[in-house]
Structure 1
Amino acid sequence: MLNRFTSRSKGIRSSSLRFCSQKILRSVRQGVVAGREEHLSSGIKYYCFQGVPYAVPPIGELRFKSPEPLERFDQPLLDCTHLRGPCHQREATTSKTVGSEDCLHLNIYVPAKCAAEPMPVMVWIHGGGFIADTGNKYLPLSLLHEGVIVVTLNYRLGAWGFLCLPEAEIWGNVGLKDQRLALQWINENIKSFNGDPNNVTLFGESAGATSIHMHTFASHAGKLFHKVIMQSGTANMEWVFQRQPSVKVRRLCELLGCSSTDPKEMFEFLQSPEKVTPEAVLSKTLSLLLPDERRRGPPFPLRPVLEDTNSPDAFISMPVLKQMRRHDTCAIPTIIGYNSAEGLTLLKHSVKQIEKVDQDLERFVPRNIPLSIDHPEISALAQQIRKFFFGGQRITKEHLPGLCNLITDYHFLVDIYFATKMHPIYRPGAPLYVYRFDYTGGRDFYKRLFNFEHLSGACHADELHYLFQTPNDDLSTFAEDDAQITKRLSEMWANFARYGEPTPQNSNIANELGFMWTSVKKSTGQKECKNLDYFIIDRKCSMRQEPDRDRMEFWEEIYRKFPPLDYSLLNAKR
């Protein structure tokens, strides 16, 4: 949910810009791209093509509009030997405005080996709460060892990607539509890199994973991609959909100096690069947070929306829970998982105001419970939360493990859990593999950054520092346990991309583990799926049934009494 690889990736641009005498050329539909040759620490060669444009630059009249396909490059030989800028955002450590509106590029990493068959393709969609991060920061060195092609991409963020004003034909979700267009580009061109367009796996984390979940509802599922891996995110989560989008676009115009409420005039104002500068937009973005969003967190004001029925190219217009209950969707093999202490990423904020949190546990009563905020049952539910997570006591810094579990459940786990329970019922033809990532080691980043190393569990996003690397990383120098978890993750993810299962029978990883990661059993009829099998990713891996079952039973009991509303509908109304 935060900006990734901040301190470890400072050398990424200088490393990527070094001159290579031997350029690698590939012809694509739009022209010819020139990449460069690199070497893994093992000496194995790979090719990288960075900063490849997949759309017409979304500037001028295309600002806030759906992306348009790029028909031809503007030069006969396009230099793709270096990274291009990210989409506009605040740099995590300095808060400086970085990036460009001309940011719709992708990066292609290709093992150089001569493969007899086209290689599986893995497309990474980054997280960052729809306001931050970039595909540029994710270098898939360990995945390349496994013989798969990896593509990372940029999509528009914040106001540029998720502002919504249907009356002026700003339909919203253009950041998601950027992703869709990138998939179309990959489908058309990946053969030129010896990739298999009929074997494409989407994988992503946090906001990237929620995006992928929405892709599975779309008509291009099973056509532009064929398998998915969702790390720490599903589309039914509390923070995914934008709250009061019409209020926010008007508020942004007001903050930037537009007093008009006429949609046409607002649109003309927003498209003015002189009046609406990147710095101005980013300086006002957090001011769009509603009071209740500030109270509950996380601070993501501009996010996806359910699009107006008049939208000519809607990405998602049907409510999420209705989508998840459809039986007529494409059967996409799926991995869904979470980190055991996701809440560590938001715990520091709660610790700073722990007395307020103690006095307002109602903030952790899920908003999708169909009660008004002043209903007496809300206070009663808050007391149940206090009793279950804190033994009925006041919350102090002695209760950080319980507070971390509560934040984990509220912002991540409960909705991920319900998504995994629904999948076998409504997608019985789509194999589902579920995991919990427990590993903590020498490459943990956020847990150390937030000074929570004394607490157990894996922080949100910390698995990324094992799955991906930076240009300065040498895999051969990793600590033994870190190298092992990197190898296991990469091998299982690549196996899933290649075969549709992470630990095929008689595979190296299955033989090493001594067992197979089994898929969730298919549901019979409409009966609830109980005791789902989870793969525990740690120094010693294992299969367990619903490792956080006690906490999930607590929330299930509440939802039995108060059947949940759909956040995607709820957020649009309130």
Structure 2
Amino acid sequence: MDHNVIFIGINYRLGAMGFLTLETDEAPGNLGLRDQSLAIKWIRDEIDNLYGNKDQITLMGHGSGAHSALIHLVSPFNKKGTFTRIITQSGSPFEDTNLRFAKSRKEYAKKLAASVGCTKEILKCLRSRPADILQTKVQTFNIINQVFTPNPWVPVIDIKFAHDPVLPDYPENIVKNTNFSRSIPILTGSVAEEGMLLMKRFFQHPELFAQFTRTLPFLLFNLEDESVTPKVQDLVEIVKKFFIPKGQLSYSQNKQIIAMFTDMVFYGKIGRAIQLLRDHGPIYQYIYKYFGTHSFGDLSFYSDFKLGLKLSLQSRGIGLFMRNGFGTCHGDELFDIFKIGFLKAPMSSGPISDFDKSVGQSLITMWINFARTGNPTPMGYFLDDNSKWLSIQESNGMVAEIKTKTRMIEDTFLEKRVNFYHRVFEYLFTDEA
């Protein structure tokens, strides 16, 4: 990274280690979020010793990291002024069904405890078990999809059992119903076909489309079979008809299904965060459409063998395999910003094109501009069409479209998609106390 910045990655407890809850003050949950908060505080206290500026701290996260960053924005656990700006990519906790269905998380903790022989004094017993054994047992909760699985280890509303709650209410309620007054610049957005990542098993095994309708309550709302009520089934049908007005769910409807997952699992929540926070500080929004050399969509589209062969040939300049054909997938922009180390070679280390490098450098420059100034195109910087990246407040809702070139566009359909998600969410939780 050819910029004079300090980049700090935070380690924190994940899975059951970070988010198991027994709904007691001793085991309230949200330990992973507390780890993050303590790390942010440490950075603020110590950054001067690294020649940094404690008044120029930007939180940045992708996916669950974006989810966490926005929780820190609304959490009373973090004092006002702890950080200065936020960059979120492809994630949001606003109107998140997973948070709403977190009411049963205590039962998951009991199931995990029972699986390692802990039926009494559960917390004390769990602490005596080796971490690797617990982690192995956690995998038994991965039921349907290899990428997005039922995940009970998520943030919970902890106001009733934590003496210093991290998340006393749902983020949307904190912003709407309290004296929320934090005003900081936010840069946020998503890729065009986020939902492709959920299609892995269905792309590779088209025969599974016969089970697709049965799995939709989970894939759309993170609900398991025992939680699927007639109301939920009705809602699933409404969502299906909105995205696929004609025909049955089948392999031939891939693009429509990807659009459904993109909006219902990703973009609806991101859009609701934008709608609810737009009165609390400038928001710069982007939609990432660049289809680079590497794509997480290829992980969904190809079997492991075909993917390995494709990338091996590609690294030698031989392009025998077609691209996945569905566009940019959740996480694709990370290939242009970071070297993705958790993937096997050659995907993590294969060559990238000059366009990849150009888009990556442009992204990094705009992200760093924002971290420094609160504006991705401050004085002296312009987008590829010689325009400025304006906040949604300044531009009446325009967004930056990132492809081989970056430009400002007006996309009124984005708002319609978010509003549909909001109506579905409200109907789903109408009877919630």
**TM-score, normalising length from structure 1?**
0.63
The equivalent of 1:306 in structure 2 is 157
Q: AA paired with 1:535?
A: A
Separation in 2, partners of 1:347, 1:387: 19
Alignment of 1:124-273 (within 5 A): 142=1, 145-167=2-24, 169-219=26-76, 220=78, 222-236=80-94, 237-240=96-99, 242-260=102-120, 265-272=121-128
Separation in 1, partners of 2:163, 2:235: 43
The equivalent of 2:180 in structure 1 is 328
The superposition leaves residues 158-209 of structure 1 with CA deviations (integer Å, 9 ceiling, x where unpaired) of: 1111111243611211111111111111111111111001110000001100
Separation in 1, partners of 2:39, 2:407: 37
Against the structure 1 CA distance between its residues 295 and 359, is the aligned structure 2 distance closer, same or farther, given a 3 Å change threshold? farther
The equivalent of 2:315 in structure 1 is none
Alignment of 1:81-96 (within 5 A): none
Separation in 2, partners of 1:553, 1:203: 23
Question: How much does 1:450 deviate?
Answer: 2.1
Separation in 2, partners of 1:395, 1:388: 12
Alignment of 1:159-558 (within 5 A): 159-167=16-24, 169-219=26-76, 220=78, 222-236=80-94, 237-240=96-99, 242-260=102-120, 265-272=121-128, 276-288=129-141, 298-325=149-176, 326-351=178-203, 352=205, 353-358=208-213, 361=216, 373-375=228-230, 378-425=232-279, 427=280, 430-442=281-293, 444-451=294-301, 453-469=323-339, 478-507=352-381, 510=382, 512-521=384-393, 532-546=397-411, 548-549=413-414, 552=417, 555=420, 558=423
Against the structure 1 CA distance between its residues 558 and 240, is the aligned structure 2 distance closer, same or farther, given a 3 Å change threshold? closer
Question: How much does 1:294 deviate?
Answer: 7.5
**Secondary structure of the structure 1 residue equivalent to 2:60:** strand
Asked whether the equivalents of residues 157 and 168 of structure 2 are also in contact (C-alpha less than 8 Å), the reply is: yes
Question: How much does 1:459 deviate?
Answer: 0.9
- Structure 1, unaligned stretches of length 5 or more? 1-141, 523-529
Question: How much does 1:299 deviate?
Answer: 3.2
Against the structure 1 CA distance between its residues 564 and 532, is the aligned structure 2 distance closer, same or farther, given a 3 Å change threshold? farther
- In our comparison, the structure showing a higher alpha carbon Rg is 1
Aligned residues: 398
- Structure 2, unaligned stretches of length 5 or more? 303-322
Separation in 2, partners of 1:557, 1:464: 28
Against the structure 1 CA distance between its residues 309 and 164, is the aligned structure 2 distance closer, same or farther, given a 3 Å change threshold? same
**Secondary structure of the structure 1 residue equivalent to 2:9:** strand
Separation in 1, partners of 2:44, 2:161: 28
Separation in 1, partners of 2:17, 2:215: 34
Separation in 1, partners of 2:422, 2:173: 22
Against the structure 1 CA distance between its residues 296 and 386, is the aligned structure 2 distance closer, same or farther, given a 3 Å change threshold? farther
Asked whether the equivalents of residues 298 and 346 of structure 1 are also in contact (C-alpha less than 8 Å), the reply is: no
**Secondary structure of the structure 2 residue equivalent to 1:208:** helix
Please say which of residues 153-162 and 464-473 is displaced more in the overlay. Answer: 464-473
**Secondary structure of the structure 2 residue equivalent to 1:179:** helix
Q: Once the two structures are aligned, what percentage of the paired residues are identical?
A: 25
**Secondary structure of the structure 1 residue equivalent to 2:97:** coil
**Secondary structure of the structure 1 residue equivalent to 2:165:** coil
Question: How much does 1:491 deviate?
Answer: 0.4
Question: How much does 1:548 deviate?
Answer: 4.3
- Superposed CA RMSD: 3.3
Against the structure 1 CA distance between its residues 559 and 166, is the aligned structure 2 distance closer, same or farther, given a 3 Å change threshold? closer
Asked whether the equivalents of residues 383 and 407 of structure 2 are also in contact (C-alpha less than 8 Å), the reply is: no
Question: How much does 1:147 deviate?
Answer: 1.6
Asked whether the equivalents of residues 158 and 168 of structure 2 are also in contact (C-alpha less than 8 Å), the reply is: yes
Larger strand percent: 1
Asked whether the equivalents of residues 364 and 410 of structure 1 are also in contact (C-alpha less than 8 Å), the reply is: no
Q: Which runs of 4+ in 1 moved over 6 A?
A: 293-296, 470-475
Q: AA paired with 1:479?
A: S
Q: AA paired with 2:125?
A: F
Question: How much does 1:390 deviate?
Answer: 2.5
Q: AA paired with 2:136?
A: S
Separation in 1, partners of 2:125, 2:26: 14
Separation in 2, partners of 1:467, 1:188: 28
Q: AA paired with 1:459?
A: C
Separation in 2, partners of 1:381, 1:349: 24
Separation in 2, partners of 1:399, 1:151: 42
**Secondary structure of the structure 2 residue equivalent to 1:198:** coil
The superposition leaves residues 63-111 of structure 1 with CA deviations (integer Å, 9 ceiling, x where unpaired) of: xxxxxxxxxxxxxxxxxxxxxxxxxxxxxxxxxxxxxxxxxxxxxxxxx
Question: How much does 1:266 deviate?
Answer: 1.2
Asked whether the equivalents of residues 222 and 332 of structure 1 are also in contact (C-alpha less than 8 Å), the reply is: no
Separation in 2, partners of 1:283, 1:557: 37
Larger helix percent: 2
